[in-house]
Amino acid sequence: MCGICGFIDFKSNSDNDVLNKMVSALHHRGPDDRGSDIFSFDNALVGLGQTRLSILDLSPAGHQPMHYEQLSIVLNGEIYNFKDIKKELSELGHKFKSESDTEVVLHSFAEWGIDCVSKFIGMFAFAIFNKKTFEVSFIRDRAGVKPLYYYWEDGLFLYASELKAFHAHPRFKKKININAVHQYMDYGFIPSPYCIFENCKKLNPGHILRFSIEKKAFDISKYWDVNDSYRLPKSKVSYIDAKNEVEKLLQSAFEYRMVSDVPVGVFLSGGYDSTAVTALLQSNRTKKLKTFTIGFEEGNNEAPFAKEIAKHIGTDHTEYYCTTKEAQEIIPDLTYYYDEPFADSSAIPTILVSKLAKESVTVALSADAGDEIFAGYNYYEKLQNNLALIAKIPNLFRSPLGHLFHYASTFNTPFKLKNKLDVLSVVLKSDPTQYAQSFQHRFFTISEEIKNKLFKNLFQDSKTIFNNDYSAFEDNLSIALANDYSIYLQNDILTKVDRATMSVSLEGREPFLDHRIIEYVAQLPREYKFGTTPKRILKDIVHKYIPIQLMDRPKTGFTISVNAWLKNDLAYLLEEYLNPKKIDEVGLFQSKYVRKLLLDFYSGRLHDQSVIWKLLQFQMWYDKWMK
């Protein structure tokens, strides 16, 4: 696990000092080693930088940038099946100097070119410079576990694992992308490929960017897309056979994530996803797994359940009950580690459990993506119920009813009813193939009333992020799952976990995100996933290892009482960052309306309270990175 960064500079005024400052900005991602190289040509300088958290081959042989023949690489992530690929390459005559997966990627690229990525099982974002073809290739993993930003302006191309590395380059221009701010206020994150800054983007998951130094231009292509698996016909496999196959895939994926030359642990919440990871791994070994749980005296506290699960499985379990003060002390640091606006408050407990795990291990397995793969979120049931209701309405009356519901929602109706009317209005006025994504769009976004009054300028780009082609999908649940996998999971959950674990130099691994799992499960019939119960097939697998009595409880999230804090202990933050002077200094929001939102928030009249945390995190980000 590492941080990578660098540049392609056609004005050739970047230097080692600049590159080293960029690398230093990513020190927390890899404190064990660092390296940088600059290659000088007639028309450009190419810089490769890396900071290393040593996981595989702890010796100097794993140092980066790494070179082989005409190729040089910096890599962030892990290729879990590198030993299998290494064996194949050895049979083709390749010789290796290390036990590093990075060297295997280099030789794979030399042997198979860009197509080598199809062989990789892992999480990765890497840059390979081919000195013969004068091309730099940037490749990001299929699900988007590892981040990769890029910037292209005025003859300067920058790339990095985190935006903070760009700030170390004197020619990086910090101009806010207004459209990205609108998206952030809707979703609480800025969706890929967009970025908070102009001329800056994230490379989409499953994509390759090839930069031609000769042409001074780049092109982007896609090598993997989760939607392709959902477009395939549903499998005719029996439920029993499907369950057995899913269990084999899970076992294989989980074991791959245990490959390491340093200690490995597991985040255990006590829910089905983390329990599946822990139970399947512990069943195959006599040595006790190390598991970690953070508990809270307030909010949703799953620590007691996790403790019972750990006791039943027989892990070496560590739990820590965090005080409110400890959790609150994380907040000032959020905008440093999440260096573009990010409003998922569960980043706080995720950082805390990462700190706890780091005391004992260097790698921790997280159980994210179980909900997005196996249909675990509660709102999928709401989606199904709403679509069932709409199905009873004749096609002829749907659009007129949509307009009627919109009209009704403009009256002084209770918030919950107003919200339902608004959602149904949007969905009913949509094309039937867009019902699922229309529902999701309204589920995520803040109300149009708040947006129209909050921003000084109207939204310039009305395209929704839920705009894929779903014509070949067999059901609306598949559309919802594909959207959540490619949008919410990547931009929210994986961003949260990557920055949280990296903030303490801990490698976070995502065993459910082995692409073989989603490619198989996407083709299973809907009722295998969302059947008599959400996550039907995963739950039945877990019940082979854990009694149902230990697992049978309502689904909860990894949440804290941030709104209560903001009304009491942390009210000073709202007064400091959301006061009229600070709001007007940024120049994006109407300060009088922000004041009204605050007063409604304090009095309990503000129904969509998430807007306050979003505003606070944006203002704190601006204060940190724009001054």
Same domain, 437 and 485: yes
Q: 90-94, 326-330, 496-500 — which is least confidently predicted?
A: 326-330
Answer whether residue 460 shows pLDDT above 70.
Answer: no
CA–CA gap between residue 392 and residue 403 (Å, rounded) = 18
Position with higher pLDDT, 448 vs 215: 215
The percent of residues in the chain predicted with pLDDT above 90, rounded, is 77
Same domain, 365 and 470: yes
Position with higher pLDDT, 312 vs 410: 312
* Domain CATH number, residue 425: 3.40.50.620
Same domain, 157 and 254: no
For residue 459, the model assigns a pLDDT of 61
Token pair recorded at residue 463: 């395209």
Same domain, 340 and 486: yes
Per-residue model confidence as pLDDT tens digits over 143-181:
999 999 999 999 999 999 999 999 999 999 999 999 999
Last residue of a domain, one of 168, 192, 224: 224
Answer whether residue 300 shows pLDDT above 90.
Answer: no
Same domain, 262 and 156: no
Contact 254, 545 (CB under 8 A): no
For residue 5, the model assigns a pLDDT of 98
Mean pLDDT of 59-71: 94
Answer whether residue 415 shows pLDDT above 70.
Answer: no
User: 128: closest CA among 39, 193, 226?
Assistant: 39
Same domain, 187 and 270: no
Same domain, 498 and 614: no
For residue 201, the model assigns a pLDDT of 98
For 175, residues 6+ apart whose C-beta sits below 8 A from its C-beta are 197, 198, 199
Q: 91-100, 154-163, 288-297, 299-308 — which is least confidently predicted?
A: 299-308
Same domain, 608 and 504: no
Full residue range of the structural domain in which residue 619 is found:
562-625
Answer whether residue 578 shows pLDDT above 70.
Answer: yes
Place 272 in a pLDDT band, splitting at 50, 70 and 90: very high
> What value does the mean pLDDT of the chain take?
92
Token pair recorded at residue 241: 């056979």
Mean pLDDT of 220-240: 96
Q: 263-267, 339-343, 505-509, 555-559 — which is least confidently predicted?
A: 555-559
With residue 127 as reference, give the H or E element that holds it. Answer: strand 122-130
Same domain, 65 and 188: yes
For residue 1, the model assigns a pLDDT of 65
For residue 20, the model assigns a pLDDT of 97
Same domain, 65 and 208: yes
Place 556 in a pLDDT band, splitting at 50, 70 and 90: low
For residue 241, the model assigns a pLDDT of 98
Place 297 in a pLDDT band, splitting at 50, 70 and 90: confident
The percent of residues in the chain predicted with pLDDT above 70, rounded, is 96
CA–CA gap between residue 456 and residue 590 (Å, rounded) = 6
Contact 68, 110 (CB under 8 A): yes
Q: Which residues are catalytic?
A: 2
Answer whether residue 67 shows pLDDT above 90.
Answer: yes
Last residue of a domain, one of 174, 198, 224: 224
Place 464 in a pLDDT band, splitting at 50, 70 and 90: low
For residue 559, the model assigns a pLDDT of 65
Counting the structural domains of the chain, the total is 3
Long-range contacts of 417-421 (CB under 8 A, 24+ apart): 419/447, 419/607
Q: 100-109, 318-327, 417-426, 581-590 — which is least confidently predicted?
A: 417-426
Last residue of a domain, one of 192, 224, 256: 224
* Domain CATH number, residue 22: 3.60.20.10
Q: Count CB atoms within 10 A of the CB of residue 87.
A: 10
